[in-house]
A and B are shown apart, each in its own frame.
Chain A
């Protein structure tokens, strides 16, 4: 079956520092990977969509300078949160798609900022 792993599951960083999170697709080829942030109120914000052989498309309010993403092959993607502050707290979810219309999600990386 299609599985998506994310690590770390939880991380704490000091305000102003950066942290990197990873996403790995197993059992299928992730031709596109979307990164979302889920708020404590459970709402989702799309950060960016990365599709193989296309430029990464960032949503309004999210920039490559703040959330650089790498998608080097069909099984792996990473995203870094640079200069994290309190408003960056949340659960970061990776959703990977194999060319069909279903996204498979990992369990998320929970970011706490002190």
Chain B
């Protein structure tokens, strides 16, 4: 079945450092891939999505490439800010399978000034 793996539970950075969050997926189809971000006290909100394999999505300085060859969808940002501190989820859309969104386990990013 479809699944998503995020191995990093926690990432701690200083402002202006490079952020990289690892995400790999397993699928039998051609799902849309998403990154959602969740701030304390809020629900997840869409950060970016990519519908087609080998395309890149970007938003607010974050970017991720849907790599069908390595089945990866890593998130990166060149220079983080304290306001980027949040939990980031790699997500796979599985509507055809009737399972809505499949969330990774999340990566907590803490950025210090």
List the interface of chain A (C-beta within 8 A of B).
4, 6, 32, 34, 36, 42-44, 46, 49, 57, 59, 93, 95, 97, 101-108
B48 to chain A, nearest CB (A): 11
In the complex, what distance in Å separates the CA atom of A4 from the CA atom of B87?
20
Question: How many pairs of A and B residues are in contact by the CB < 8 Å rule?
Answer: 54
Q: Which one, B36, B38, B93, B99, contacts A59 given CB within 8 A?
A: B99
Whole-angstrom CA separation of A95 from B108 in the bound complex: 21
Residue of chain B at shortest CB distance from A103: B101
A101 touches B49 (CB 8 A): yes
Name the residue of chain A whose CB is nearest to the CB of B102: A46
Contacts of B106 in A (CB 8 A): 42-43
Q: Which of B17-25, B39-47, B62-70, B73-81 contacts A (4 or more CB under 8 A)?
A: B39-47
In the complex with contacts A43-B103, A95-B101, A105-B45 CB distance below 8 A: yes
Complex: chain A residue closest to B33, CB-CB: A101
* Bound: A105/B91 CA distance, A: 14
The 10 closest A-B pairs by CB, nearest first: A105-B43, A34-B100, A44-B103, A101-B32, A42-B106, A49-B100, A107-B43, A105-B44, A101-B93, A57-B98
